[in-house]
A and B are shown apart, each in its own frame.
Chain A
C-alpha cells in the first residue's frame, strides 16, 4: 500500500512542473490565440540558465535566487521574441504560427548545444530539501514534497492575479474579444507582450525547478511539449484550472502506467486523451470554440486544371528528370530517389492540408507505418519486393483510418495537436516495443529485389511512382470528391447544408493522404535498406509541413517543387554545417514571416500581376475577411 501512495506522491511532484508549463501555454493561447510550440524551448532554456546560475551563486539564497532569476531572464527573452516575431504573425493562419514557433524551437536546440555542450548536466540539489522523508519504509525525496505544495500555491497565485487585479480582468476580457478591448482604449500590444512574458516565465520556472530532479539536456523541450499538448488538450486550452487537473491526471497516469504497461506506458495517457477528445472535444474545462479560420492559406485563389501547354511543360520536366541516370553518378541517383520519395510524402500532406484544410502535425506516422509495413512483410513473411510494395502501405492506410476517424472530429489547432499526439503514440510503440520493431535499433536488411537494385532502376521506380501519385491526387482535386472536400474546407456549415457528409469526406481524405504517405514510406524502406523509429518522428512530420509551405499552401501542386527544393537544400546543408537545426529553424521562421505564399504561390502571383496590370493589392497578411456591416 505504502508503495502505491509513494508512487502517487511522485506523480503529484511531476505534475508541478508540467502544470507550470501547461498553464503558461494556456494563458498565452487564451489571449493571443497562438499555440506556442516554442514553450518547451523556453522551459529548456530556463533549466539551462538556472543550472549555470546555481553553479555560480552559492548558498540557499543563491540557489532559490538563481531559480527565480533564470525564469525572469527567460521571460525577458520571451518579450523580445514576442515583439520581434509574434507581432508579425498574430493575423496569420494558425498553421503559420505553429510552424514559426516550431522553427524557433529548432534554433534553440542548436543554440543550447552551442552554449552548454551536448552532454547531460546534473544540477545541484536544493538547499534544505536534500534528504528524503520516510513513509512506512518507503523514501520520498523532500524536494518532491516541496513541489507537491508548490503546484497548488502557484494555482492560487494565478487565480488571484486573474480575478483580483485590473491586469487579470483585462486579460480575461481580451481572451474573449480582443477587438472590443482595444475599442475600450486598452493597448493590446502591451497586453499581449505582458501575457506572453507571464506565460514564458511560468515555463522557465517549470524548467528551472526541474534541475534538482532531472539532468538538463538538449532534448527536454520536445519531451515536455508533447506532454504539455496532451495536458492542455485534456484540460481545455485557455483554462488554468483545466491545466492543473489535467497535469495531475497525466502525471498520475504516467506514474501508474509504468506499473501496468511497463513497455509502452505512454499509451495509457494517449488513450485517455483520445477518450476525452471524443466526449468533450474542447477539453474537460475548456469551452467550445466558434468555428475559426479554416483555410490554411492566406487568401484563396480559384484553382484550375493545367492548360495543355502547362501539361506539356510538366511532361517535359518529367522526361528531363527521367534522363538523370544518363549523366549522373550513383550518389546523385540515390539523392534523386530520396527526393522523389519525399515528393510523394509532401504531395500526400499537401492533399490533406491544402485541399482538405486539415493541417496534420503528425503525418510522418503514416509514412513510417508504410515503411514498417514493408519491413514486417519482407523480413518476417519473406515476401518479394513487388508484393511488399503493394501491401506495405496498407499499414499506413489502417493507421490513418483509425487515427483519422478521431482526428477529423476536431479542427484547427486541436486537429494539429491530436495528429501530433497520435504520431507520438506510433513513435513510442516503435521505440519501446523492442521485440517486434527492434526499438531504437530498427529493422535492418530490407533490400530491393534484383530488378530494382541498381540505383538507376530504383530511381526510375521512385520517379514513376511519384509522378503517378502526383497526377492521381491532382486529378482527385478536380473530381467531384475534390470539390466536396474543398467545400468542407471553405465552409463546413454550408457544405453540410447542401448535403455533404463532411466528416466522412474528411476522413476519406485523411485515409487517402495516409495511404499515399505509406507508399512513400514503403519505397523509403527499400531505399535505405532499413527502418527506424525516426521514420515516424516529429521532425519528419515537420519536414513535410515545411515542404508544403515552401511550395505554397494555396497552390494545387506546389508541394512537388517544395519537396524538391527543400530536400535538396537539406541534404546539402547537413553536409555543410553541424548547425543544421539552427539554419533550418531560421529558414522556417523566415518563410513564415516574409515569404508565406511559398515558391509556387509567388510565381503564380507574379504571373497573375503580369496578366492584368492592376494588382489586387491585398496585403500578404491581411486580416481575415470580416463580414460586411
Chain B
C-alpha cells in the first residue's frame, strides 16, 4: 500500500473531530474521500500531514510510520498536500510560488519542472510574473496544485479541488488530475461532488461526522443508493 491510515483520532481543543479514521491508497490509485461540509475531510488531510497538533493513530506512508514526524518531514517523504483554501502566497509571483514548493528529485516519483507544469496548466505559463493575489479563483487552484507538484510527490492529498470553480475550469481540473495519475502520482481527493469524483476516482470512502461509514469501488458505491443518499447531498 502507498498510504495506510489506521485509528486516526483528532481534536481541536476540547472538541473530538475524527473518530478512528482508517483507509488505504494503493500505488497509482485515485481514491475519493466523500462527505458533506463539516464531515471531517479537511481535518483528515490536515491530520495526515501533521497540521493538527492533537492527533493519535498510525499513518504509514510507503511502509514507513510518519505519524510522529513534523509536517515538513512528512511532506519531504513525498506526501504532497493541496489545501482547500488554496493558500497561495499572494505577495509572491507565480514563479516564486512554485519556487517555494520546489524539492529535490525523488527516485520513485515523477519529476516536475516549471515547463512541464506550464504545459499542464497553460494559463499559469501566461502569467509567470503575476502576484498570486491578482489571480482568479480557478488560476489560484491550478497554482496551488502546481506548487505542490514542484515537490515531486509520489502521493497528493487534494482537498476539494472543484470547489467554487466554473464548469469549464472543473473540466481542466479533471484533465490535470488524470494526467497526474498517468504520470504515476497516487491521489486522495476529497469531494462533495459525486459527479466530479466519479470522473477521476478508482475507489471511494464516505466520511460522516468524523467516521468512515463506507469504503469500496465506485461501482460498489453505485450499487448502494441508500448509502449515497444518506451521506451525500446531491
Q: Are A628 and B147 in contact (CB under 8 A)?
A: no
Tell me the smallest distance from the CB of A629 to a CB of chain B, in Å: 5
Tell whether B90 is near chain A: CB-to-CB under 8 Å: yes
Smallest Cβ-Cβ distance to B76: which chain A residue: A185
Interface-side segment among A176-184, A380-388, A573-581: A176-184
Tell whether A172 is near chain B: CB-to-CB under 8 Å: yes
Interface-side segment among B19-27, B96-104, B212-220, B223-231: B96-104
Tell whether A320 is near chain B: CB-to-CB under 8 Å: no
Q: Are A626 and B12 in contact (CB under 8 A)?
A: yes
Q: Are A183 and B91 in contact (CB under 8 A)?
A: no
Q: Are B43 and A628 in contact (CB under 8 A)?
A: yes
Smallest Cβ-Cβ distance to A181: which chain B residue: B100
Q: Are A186 and B100 in contact (CB under 8 A)?
A: yes
Q: Are A169 and B100 in contact (CB under 8 A)?
A: yes
Near B by CB (< 8 A), chain A positions 525-577 give none
Tell whether B182 is near chain A: CB-to-CB under 8 Å: no
Q: Are B72 and A186 in contact (CB under 8 A)?
A: yes
Q: How many of chain B's residues touch chain A, expressed as a range?
A: 35 or more
Tell whether B161 is near chain A: CB-to-CB under 8 Å: no
Tell whether A319 is near chain B: CB-to-CB under 8 Å: no
Smallest Cβ-Cβ distance to B79: which chain A residue: A185
Q: Which residues of B contact A181 (CB under 8 A)?
A: 100
Smallest Cβ-Cβ distance to B153: which chain A residue: A185
Q: Which residues of A contact B99 (CB under 8 A)?
A: 166, 169
Q: Are B70 and A625 in contact (CB under 8 A)?
A: no
Tell whether B142 is near chain A: CB-to-CB under 8 Å: no
Near A by CB (< 8 A), chain B positions 3-32 give 12-15, 17
Interface-side segment among B81-89, B116-124, B195-203: B81-89
Q: When the two chains form the complex, which single residue of A166, A172, A179, A628 contacts B38, counting CB atoms closer than 8 Å?
A: A628
Q: Which residues of A contact B76 (CB under 8 A)?
A: 185
Cα A166 to Cα B13 in complex, Å, equals 36
Cα A183 to Cα B38 in complex, Å, equals 22
Tell me the smallest distance from the CB of B228 to a CB of chain A, in Å: 22
Q: When the two chains form the complex, which single residue of A166, A172, A628 contacts B17, counting CB atoms closer than 8 Å?
A: A628
Q: Which residues of B contact A309 (CB under 8 A)?
A: none
Tell whether B92 is near chain A: CB-to-CB under 8 Å: yes
Q: Are B89 and A183 in contact (CB under 8 A)?
A: no
Tell me the smallest distance from the CB of A293 to a CB of chain B, in Å: 14
Q: Are B14 and A180 in contact (CB under 8 A)?
A: no
Tell whether A187 is near chain B: CB-to-CB under 8 Å: yes
Q: A622-B13, A625-B12 are in contact. Are A187 and B100 (CB under 8 A)?
A: no
Tell whether A618 is near chain B: CB-to-CB under 8 Å: yes
Q: A616-B14, A618-B13, A629-B38 are in contact. Are A180 and B91 (CB under 8 A)?
A: no
Near B by CB (< 8 A), chain A positions 591-629 give 616, 618, 622-623, 625-629
Q: Are A170 and B43 in contact (CB under 8 A)?
A: no
Tell me the smallest distance from the CB of B86 to a CB of chain A, in Å: 9
Q: When the two chains form the complex, which single residue of B12, B37, B49 contacts A183, counting CB atoms closer than 8 Å?
A: B49
Chain B 120-164 per-residue mask, 1 if CB under 8 angstroms from chain A, else 0: 000000000000000000000000000110010000000000000
Q: Are A183 and B83 in contact (CB under 8 A)?
A: yes
Q: Which residues of B contact A185 (CB under 8 A)?
A: 72, 75-76, 101, 103, 151
Cα A249 to Cα B103 in complex, Å, equals 43
Smallest Cβ-Cβ distance to B44: which chain A residue: A629
Report B's interface with A, CB cutoff 8 A: 12-15, 17, 37-38, 40-43, 49, 51-53, 70-73, 75-76, 81, 83, 87, 89-92, 96-97, 99-103, 147-148, 151
Given contacts A175-B91, A180-B83, A182-B70, 9 further A-B pairs with CB under 8 A are A172-B91, A172-B92, A183-B75, A185-B103, A188-B72, A618-B14, A626-B12, A628-B17, A629-B41
Report A's interface with B, CB cutoff 8 A: 166, 169-170, 172-173, 175-177, 179-188, 616, 618, 622-623, 625-629
Q: Can you list 17 A-B contacts with CB-CB less than 8 angstroms, sorted by A residue number? A: A166-B102, A172-B89, A172-B92, A173-B97, A177-B89, A180-B89, A182-B51, A182-B71, A182-B75, A184-B75, A184-B101, A184-B103, A185-B76, A186-B100, A188-B72, A622-B13, A628-B17
